[in-house]
Amino acid sequence: MRCPEMISELWQGLMEDDDEQLPWQAPLIDIARNYHGCSDITVSLGDLFYFQPGQHGYIARKIALSRPGVDGALVVRPSFFVQGEEKFSTREQVLNLCWSVGDRLMTAMAPPGAPLNEYCVAVQRLKYQQSANDFDKLDALACNSLGRWGRVGFALDQRRLEAAGPLQRKGVSDFYGMVAHIPGVRSLARGVNRLFSRRDQRSRMLPGHRLIEAAHYDHRYFSALCGQRKNIETHIFVDGAWYNLPITMDTLAILPGSIAAARFGVPHTLHRVVHVGREEEPAEHLPAERRAQNVTLLIGTA
């Protein structure tokens, strides 16, 4: 949906407010204080630091908006963010605009006559790294902060997510994840998986591309995406092949999710996030990363 003026207003309110310290600019303790969630990343709110190779790789800020009742006041969760000794609350005008976008999204995308029950609007700012090496370091930081058994599980999940073809099936992928670490048989197991990967279009990656977020369906009605991308791409799976979905500052790219599929019969969209590799420059030659570089703004309804 082409709407550059609306995106510009959203971006200015959510990304260009100098009074707000975004989590990728914050000390780790502030991220922890602003975390409101659990082990289920889909329902967590606040500041999120989520790095697991091939599954997720971002720092994010997420808020949820709702209007209980017919004419209820807008409820914001969380209502503020800690910034050192201070607190920051998103301006009411910006929050109302976010709600308006979500409300218009539901009205426009739901089939005619479909009942629109109470829903909430999620507002997420997702930060992806510029350098593939930085992804590796953040993955290692997340892994090494775990206990011994946690690190084992981290490694098993990494192998499990690499499973291709019939090895992707529920239960089978868990078994493959374990076998792929057993000395003496892991080479054979990984070799078989590579053979399946060559035939599995869903697992196919172009040279120089690195999987950041595995193929998945969003668990909501709809997700509308815009942002500033440098070397991050969102791919959608259509007719047995992956296509780059342009994420720009001029349009909202709208993806139906699992709830829309279940309640409206609207096919949900399989998608993934990929880092497009380039030759690494020495650290001292890299430009200073801007606040909004490789940031995706997501307005979703659930």
pLDDT band at 86 (very low <50, low <70, confident <90, very high): very high
* 3-state percent breakdown (helix, strand, coil) of the chain, nearest 5: 35, 25, 40
pLDDT band at 282 (very low <50, low <70, confident <90, very high): very low
The pLDDT value given to residue 91: 96
Q: Is the pLDDT of residue 285 over 60?
A: no
Contact present, 99 and 75 (Cβ < 8 Å) = no
Long-range contacts made by residues 16-19, C-beta under 8 angstroms, separation at least 24? 16/292, 17/91, 19/88
- The rounded distance, in Å, linking the Cα atoms of 224 and 56 is 19
The pLDDT value given to residue 110: 87
pLDDT band at 278 (very low <50, low <70, confident <90, very high): low
Question: What is the overall mean pLDDT for the chain?
Answer: 90
Q: Is the pLDDT of residue 200 over 90?
A: no
Tokens of 44: 């967590």
Q: Is the pLDDT of residue 72 over 90?
A: no
Contact present, 59 and 30 (Cβ < 8 Å) = no
Of residues 195, 197, 189, 210, the one with CA closest to residue 53: 210
Comparison of pLDDT for 206 and 87, the residue scoring more: 87
- Averaged pLDDT, 204-230: 93
Give the pLDDT confidence of 128-162 residue by residue, as tens digits: 999 999 999 999 999 999 999 998 888 888 888 88
Judged by average pLDDT, the poorest of 39-43, 98-102, 280-284 is: 280-284
pTM for the full predicted model: 0.88
Of residues 297, 184, 173, 188, the one with CA closest to residue 247: 297
Comparison of pLDDT for 278 and 175, the residue scoring more: 175
The pLDDT value given to residue 113: 83
Share of the chain above pLDDT 70, in %: 96
Give the pLDDT confidence of 247-272 residue by residue, as tens digits: 999 999 999 999 999 999 999 999 99
Q: Is the pLDDT of residue 126 over 90?
A: yes
Q: Is the pLDDT of residue 80 over 90?
A: yes
